Chain A
């Protein structure tokens, strides 16, 4: 018995120790915005390579692009690094005047030389997003002749075809068109890499914030750039990698972070009741769709494709599983894009679907597999679709898998049905038309592999129409061309597009001025402040 009191004493000591570390009233510093976010998609901080959500957002706050647009009205394009621009009468030469007096965070002045360097470097490095600039006929071999400095503050760009000016300009608003500090990058150049290996983990920009630190899978720290003419509301913005959403919620409710970015619909509903927390959202340029592989003999029948479009309970998905995270949208161009169609012709109509299936000779339905990423949201959507498909006899077998695993299968077109989401690469409608409505070569070893290819779909005349739309210089006519393309794909395409993503952030009440833009590179904390 002697030992028992000792044990109780030591237990009491441990408890006492624990209590003595009582946390002080948790709060983040008033000049610092702390965000909890899943940022493990960041693999590079070089604007010539940045192509994922988190690093696009960070680049948007730390670099300046040649052109930019108003996040509230995408059609309002303005020069950011460029002061103005002119297009030659043949439509093939763009001349940009560069704003004077700009400085990089390093203190180096920003001139036309930096703009030329940044664009040439993006094409020469040829990383994933390089095609956004390269698609105007710029290659490694000709880029030095086609993008030229024609004055201390003037840059000209020669294109291979007279593209629609809006197309060219929207591409200049993407992250890859960010202006990099030439002097600083070249100081850190190794083996002719234009400073790439250094810039992957460092910063050479002129944006309102500068990147002070990035620890992979842990944290990104931004600090006010004193050389920027845009004065930020806060001195510091910290993105903490918090993988677990329940943990994000706890941190937010406790006040240890100011913003939680990845809460799921139930968590959002719960925090919305907390008077200290507000929930804000904005539509993003990402659409959710089912990809129907045309190699599957059943799915390749036009009646079946159409029938499946009548077999999704669109509003139920948007109102429950994806509440606050998505709204019904059925065309391949997201709301906000030039020419986007926002009327959603399909709804759940089992009778109609059955009729179409009977026409296709599948009166009793058929069996099909669906590759599903095992995230709660995608799994929930898959189950909802499984239920409604079954009402017309279409038996869906859900194949769960890790996201990269199902994606690998999809890219090799070995799926039947794949639940995908597709984010626009840049703000011009061509970005989605090019992948949903065009397919130059449907053979297994094709060079380009757009979404149409992944679903083994030959869009026929739509490919040529897509190519023609980028050359239409009249904005009104161009919009009309995209409307037609969307209607054709809606009717016959191998996609059941059902949602447009809404990005939602939960923040502490005292946080103001955070902008949720139409794309991740337009999410801005520049005007954010804490009261």
Chain B
């Protein structure tokens, strides 16, 4: 009986905890997004760019200009404009982009997969190489490897991605011909598959278009490695410092005293503990790449979110900018949540 009551109250507790966490999460998401919309909206309205010109062009007659201005609601007070936008946004209508004329969400659904594809690959490459490098640098502190990782990281941090991207293209595409050039696919393959997920690698693979798939791999390789390198620079530095911290802990000494192999001490014990803060690092760097690496996308003619938002911003296409910002904001919040959940999985103390 006593046992049953205990379990029941434990169940209640878990449920209450779960509900609390969910409400908390929704509240955080809502506040973050509302704040983002408000800030972006007002910044967008005070930039000294006239969005009407983007629609009608510089040479439009005055009456056409005036009509479009009114259609966009730009003659209303700013607060009222914001209220109208908010009301529509809550019902899922984020307005149309003036540049592409599509509903903003349709545009984002079109461009986001390209960014997702690139960012995911970049993060995978960055983590797969960055973590071992960081661990090695920590273990062999002060050695040649440590210096190498440090220099590698420094270059990754400080060299402008624009320059590095162009140099990489020049070398691997133009001179050596190892990879395909800018763009997601060769024109020959562009119409050989039906876009389903919008991620070319997955679509071509699922439809068995192997030639197109390998072509896409060859196209994505270079920009993904480049982004991978940049996240590697960050991840390896952070891994190194987390590992140094762990390796100085008493449990490591205890493990060594127990006679465990050095391999087990480093990779099973120390790295496991270092991995908890590392998850946040990786999630953050992933979120950064999702935001769209504007310059990489520009050089590699990659039709992703970064290019979309920048281009929209330059034309004061505010619906598009707001929609894009919201998606990025949501991605940040969700990635934070995921890393929270992973924390709980990896670190028993947080349970």
Contact = CB atoms under 8 A, between A and B. Distances in A.
A18 B173 CA distance: 11
Given A52-B57, A250-B181, A241 B301 contact: yes
Contact residues on B (Cβ < 8 Å of other chain), bracket:
35 or more
B316 interface: yes
Nearest to A218: B303
Contact of A32 (B166, B172, B187): B187
A126 B66 CA distance: 12
Contacts of A449: 62
Contacts of A126: 63-64, 67
Interface SS of chain B: helix, strand, loop or mixed?
helix
B311 interface: yes
B293 to A, nearest CB: 13
Contacts of B83: none
Interface in A347-370: none
Interface string B297-310: 01111010001100
Interface stretch (B26-34, B100-108, B200-208, B275-283): B100-108
Contact of A216 (B99, B178, B214): B99
Interface string B67-79: 1000000000000
Nearest to A421: B58
A420 B92 CA distance: 41
A7 to B, nearest CB: 6
Contacts of B182: 242, 247, 250-251
A43 interface: yes
Given A216-B100, A242-B182, A408-B49, A4 B166 contact: no
B61 A131 contact: yes
Interface in B39-94: 47-50, 53-64, 67
A130 interface: yes
B64 A244 contact: no
A243 B217 contact: no
A425 interface: yes
Interface stretch (A20-28, A94-102, A334-342): A20-28
A487 to B, nearest CB: 25
A32 B178 CA distance: 24
B58 A407 contact: yes
A230 interface: no
B270 to A, nearest CB: 13
B59 A253 contact: no
A409 B174 CA distance: 42
Contact residues on A (Cβ < 8 Å of other chain), bracket:
35 or more
A254 B181 contact: yes
A215 B49 contact: no
Interface in A95-136: 126-128, 130-131
Interface string A483-513: 0000000000000000000000000000000
Interface string B152-169: 000000000000001001
A206 to B, nearest CB: 24
A131 to B, nearest CB: 5
Interface in B179-223: 179-183, 186-188, 190, 214, 217-218, 221
A409 B48 contact: yes
Contacts of B318: none
B301 A200 contact: no
B59 A128 contact: yes
A250 B174 contact: yes
Contact of A21 (B169, B218, B311): B218
A251 to B, nearest CB: 6
Nearest to B183: A240
A448 B298 CA distance: 38
Interface in A197-227: 200-201, 215-219
A201 B64 CA distance: 21
Contacts of A408: 48-50, 53
Contact of A402 (B49, B107, B166): B49
A449 B188 CA distance: 47
A49 to B, nearest CB: 9
Nearest to B263: A2
A189 interface: no
B101 A44 contact: yes
Contact of A26 (B57, B64, B181, B298): B181
Contacts of A21: 178-180, 214, 217-218, 221
A32 B110 CA distance: 25
A19 interface: yes
A23 B217 CA distance: 11
A238 interface: yes
A253 B101 CA distance: 34
A424 to B, nearest CB: 10
Nearest to A412: B50
Given A40-B311, A243-B301, A246-B166, A51 B217 contact: no
Contact of A244 (B214, B263, B299): B299
Contact of B177 (A3, A22, A447): A22
Given A43-B101, A241-B301, A409-B48, A217 B170 contact: no
A26 B54 CA distance: 37
B40 to A, nearest CB: 17
A256 interface: yes
Residue in A240, A247, A251, A409 with the greatest tally of chain B CB atoms within 10 Å: A247
B334 interface: no
Interface in B246-272: 262-263
14 contacts: A6-B132, A22-B177, A23-B173, A23-B177, A23-B178, A51-B56, A128-B57, A216-B101, A217-B308, A243-B307, A246-B299, A247-B181, A250-B170, A251-B182
Interface of B: 47-50, 53-64, 67, 98-102, 107, 110, 129, 132-133, 135-136, 139, 145, 166, 169-170, 172-174, 177-183, 186-188, 190, 214, 217-218, 221, 225, 262-263, 298-301, 303, 307-308, 311, 314-316
Interface of A: 2-4, 6-7, 10, 14, 18-19, 21-23, 26, 28-29, 32, 34, 40, 43-44, 51-52, 126-128, 130-131, 200-201, 215-219, 238, 240-244, 246-247, 250-251, 253-254, 256, 402-405, 407-409, 411, 423, 425, 446-449
The 8 closest A-B pairs by CB, nearest first: A216-B100, A128-B60, A21-B218, A408-B50, A218-B303, A404-B49, A128-B56, A51-B57
Given A23-B173, A43-B55, 16 more contacts: A2-B263, A4-B145, A10-B132, A22-B177, A23-B177, A26-B177, A40-B311, A215-B303, A217-B308, A218-B303, A243-B307, A404-B54, A405-B48, A407-B53, A448-B61, A448-B62
